[in-house]
Amino acid sequence: MRKRRGLAVAAWVLGPLGLAILVGSLLYVRLAYTGVTVAGEGMAPTYTIGQRLVVERMDGDEVRRGDVVLYDVPERHMRGAVLQRVIAVGGDHIVCCGGDGADEVITVNGRALDEPYVKDGIADGAHRPYDVRVPAGRLFLMGDHRVNSNDSRFHQSEPHQGTVANGAVLGRVVDGFGGAGVWIAVALFGLVLAVAGLGFGIAALVVRRQRRPAMPPWPVGV
């Protein structure tokens, strides 16, 4: 009797707890992350066409210099949201000399950027100078393939000198599964608990059947 009761208690505790953890974790991952497929060459060689990426949903207030973000400015990119790197944030002063090829230097707040991720080592490639003080609440964005990226450099004539509002940011690209991987692991843990709870419930039923008194035999007529 005690053994069956212990198995039943374990089943009722682990089963619902595991299901709650499983469902809660999957819902969180669904709401906090999304997947995107790279559609252009603007972020090569860091990300290539057809590559699948995980994007953590957040707005521009939470991103930092060097982050790769997914953002949507329909009047600039008619095909939808694009991926570009945050080069400067609100309050920064970004300057480029407009020289040629690898000799170009981009500075942010007076310091030259170290950008090992740019394609072919070309820091700018636009062959035109720019001097931008990024307004508060906005970002200066560039692709890693500097000679093939429609980014902030080419919209200097727009208000705010080509910078993008923080509110246009949909999320930040994370390496691998990032935080989503942690929550997927939590979901798997919940699945293990739920399966264990089911196992204990089945075991309790088996023990209950084994302890039932045997039925008396049917009387046999003389």
How confident is the model over 87-139, as pLDDT tens digits?
999 999 999 975 444 457 899 999 999 999 999 999 888 888 889 999 999 99
- Residues 56 and 82: beta-carbon distance below 8 Å: no
- Residues 143 and 122: beta-carbon distance below 8 Å: no
Rounded CA-CA distance 198/26 in Å is: 20
Residue 140: strand pairing partners? 88
- Residues 211, 217, 221, CA angle at the centre, nearest 5°? 175
Residue 57: strand pairing partners? 171
pLDDT, position 101: 46
Rounded CA-CA distance 171/86 in Å is: 12
Query: pLDDT higher for 215 or 202?
Result: 202
Which residue shows structure tokens 């080069």? 87
Is 200's pLDDT higher than 90?
no
- Residues 142, 101, 146, CA angle at the centre, nearest 5°? 20
DSSP the chain: -HHHHHHHHHHHHHHHHHHHHHHHHHHHHHHHEEEEE--SSTTTTTS-TT-EEEEEE--GGG--TT-EEEE--TTT-TT--EEEEEEEETT-EEEE----GGG--EEETTEE---TTSGGG-S--S-S-EEEEPPTTEEEEE-SSGGG---GGGGTTSGGGG-EEGGGEEEEEESTTHHHHHHHHHHHHHHHHHHHHHHHHHHHHHHHHHTSPPPPPPPPP-
Q: What is the average per-residue pLDDT within 51-65?
A: 92
Residue 130: count of CB within 10 angstroms of its CB: 19
Encode pLDDT of 145-187 as tens digits.
999 999 999 998 888 889 999 999 999 999 866 666 676 777 7
pLDDT, position 46: 95
The Cβ-side half-sphere exposure at 97, using a 13 Å CA radius, reads: 14
